[in-house]
Amino acid sequence: MAKLYRFVLFATICEKDKMKSREYLDSISSETVKVLKDLHVDKLFQREKRVRIAVTGLNRSGKTIFITSLINQLLSGERVKRLEREFVTRILPIDYGDEFPYRNIVSDLRKSPPKWPQSTSSISRVLLQLEIKSGSSFFPNRIIEVEITDYPGEWLLDLSMFGKNFEKWSEEILREFKSDLGSDFWNEIKKQDIYGYSGGKEEVLIEKYRKYLHALHEKGYSLLQPGRYLQEGNLVGSEIFLFTPLPKPDDFDEVHEESLYKKFQIRYEHYIDTIVTPLALNYFAQFDRQIILVDVIKSLNSGYDSFIDMTKAVKNIIEIYKYGDQSFLRGVLEKKIDRVLFAATKADYIASSQHKKYKMLLETVVEEAKRELSVKGVETKSIILSSVKSTKDKIREYKGRELHCLLGKVAGSEEETVEYTGELPEKFPSRSEWKENMFSFVKFSPTPFPDRDIEAVPHINMDIAIEYLIKDKI
C-alpha cells in the first residue's frame, strides 16, 4: 500500500512539475527507486524533447550572428554555467530543408581579418543535440534537441500582413506613407486610372514603389512591405509579390475586372495564401520560444521617425499572436509560444557604464508589444545583448573629465582605435529634443572567433538568453 501511495505521489509530481520530480527522485530512498524501476516509471519522462526557437528581428538586427554565437556557446567547453547541468552538444544533420551554414560563418569569422556573414537570403535550420548528465544512477542521461530557424529579416517583415485583406493592408501602409520619400509613387497613382481598364500598365507604378521601399530602407525605416521587394530569395523572376498599396475606390462596383486595383488585389491574395500564411502558421505550429532582436542602435543612428517606426515594427511582429486563439487555427496548432525574449543587440557598441540606459531605451521600444503579449498570457523578458563582443571598455581623460570609450576595430580600418560614442539618454528624446545627427555610432569589425569549438566567443548576456530560452526544458 505504501509503495502504491509512493507511486501515485510520484506520478502526480511528474505530471505537475517534471523538473522538480527529478530533484525529488534524487532525494528518495533506494528502496523506492527499486519499486519505481520495476514499474518502468522512467518512461514517464519520455515526452517531447525538441525545443524549437524562433529567432525574429528586422533585417540586419543580428539574427544570424546570434544563432552562430548560441551554437558556439553550447558547443564550447566553457559550457553555459547558468544551465547548471553538465552536458555536451552535437550538431545533428537536419531531417528536411537547408542546413544553417554554421561552419562557413565560423570559418569567415576565424579569418584574418574576420568577416561578418552576408545578409540571409533563404530559410535554414540547425538541429542541436544536448546530452545532459543524469543526476541519478536510476535515470539515463537526458537527450534534448534544440532546433533553431534563421529567416531573412525582410521576409519576417511580412508576418503582420497575415489576416489582412488588400484593402486593409493598403489603408495601413498609406496611412504611414512618407510623402517626402514617395512623392513619385504617389504622383503615379494619381496619374493612372487604377480602377479602370489598365491595359497592362503596371511596371511604372511597381518600379516607383520599389524605389520608395529602398529609400525607406536607407533612411532606417522598418515597416517595409512586401519584404520580397528587398530580398526576393526563391521568388526571383516571379510576379507574385509585385503589387503596391492602392487607395480604396469610392465604389467597388465601378472597379473594372482588368484594372490595376483588381490585378494587385488578386496578386496580394495569392501572396498571402502561398507565402505569408505558411510563414505565419509555422510560428504557431512549430515554435516553443521566441527571441525578438531589436537593433536599438540603428534607430538611434537614424533619427526620431525611424525610432517611432521601429516601435511599430516590433509591435507588428507580435501582432500575429492575436490570431493564436482563433478557432480556425486551433485545429492546426499543437503548441504555443509561451515565452518571448526581447533583446537589444550590438550592446558592445556602447560602453558598459551605459548599459543600464541602453536597456531602458529597449524597454521604451518594446513596451507596447510586451503589454500585448502579457494579456495573451505570454511571459516576456528584456535584456541587452552582444552575440560577438567586439570592443573593450577604455577610460580616457578629456578636459579633466573621464570619458567612457570603446577600444575596437572600426569597420574598414586595420588598427584598433579608441572611440567615444557619446552619452545615451535615459529615455528616447522627444521629436523636439532630437537634434540632427544626435548619435552616430560606428560599425565595428568582429573580434576573431576562437580557433577551436571548445572555446567560447566573448559575448554580453548570451548565457542569460540561453537560460531563458531553454533552461526549464532540460
Ligand X SMILES: Nc1nc2c(ncn2[C@@H]2O[C@H](COP(=O)(O)OP(=O)(O)OP(=O)(O)O)[C@@H](O)[C@H]2O)c(=O)[nH]1
- Residue 445: contacted member of ligand X, Mg ion, none (CB under 5 to 8 Å, by partner type): none
Nearer to ligand X, 116 or 195 (CB): 116
Q: Does 61 bind ligand X (CB under 6 A)?
A: yes
Residue 234: CB minimum distance to Mg ion, A: 16
Distance CA 308, CA 313 (A): 9
Please identify the residue of the shown chain whose CB is closest to the bound ligand X: 153
Distance CA 237, CA 326 (A): 35
Distance CA 96, CA 94 (A): 6
Q: Is the peptide bond before 226 cis (omega within 30 degrees of 0)?
A: yes
Piece of the chain touching ligand X by CB under 6 A; list 4-12, 33-41, 114-122, 303-311: 114-122
- Report the chain's C-alpha Rg in angstroms: 26
Map grid coordinates 524549437 to a residue.
Answer: 52
Q: Does 458 bind ligand X (CB under 6 A)?
A: no
Size of the residue set binding Mg ion (CB under 5 A): 3
Q: Does 65 bind ligand X (CB under 6 A)?
A: yes
Q: Is the peptide bond before 113 cis (omega within 30 degrees of 0)?
A: yes
Residue 124: CB minimum distance to Mg ion, A: 9
Residue 119: CB minimum distance to ligand X, A: 3
Nearer to ligand X, 64 or 222 (CB): 64
Contact with ligand X (CB under 6 A): which of 21, 54, 70, 153?
153
Q: Does 64 bind Mg ion (CB under 5 A)?
A: yes
Q: Is the distance from CB of 306 to CB of 357 less than 8 angstroms?
A: no
Contact with ligand X (CB under 6 A): which of 160, 265, 299, 387?
387
- Residue 159: contacted member of ligand X, Mg ion, none (CB under 5 to 8 Å, by partner type): none
Q: Does 152 bind ligand X (CB under 6 A)?
A: yes
Contact with ligand X (CB under 6 A): which of 10, 102, 116, 287?
116
Size of the residue set binding ligand X (CB under 6 A): 23
Piece of the chain touching Mg ion by CB under 5 A; list 117-125, 179-187, 342-350, 427-435: 117-125
Summarize as ranges the residues that interact with ligand X (CB under 6 A).
Answer: 57, 59-65, 116-117, 119-120, 152-153, 345-346, 348, 386-388, 390, 443-444
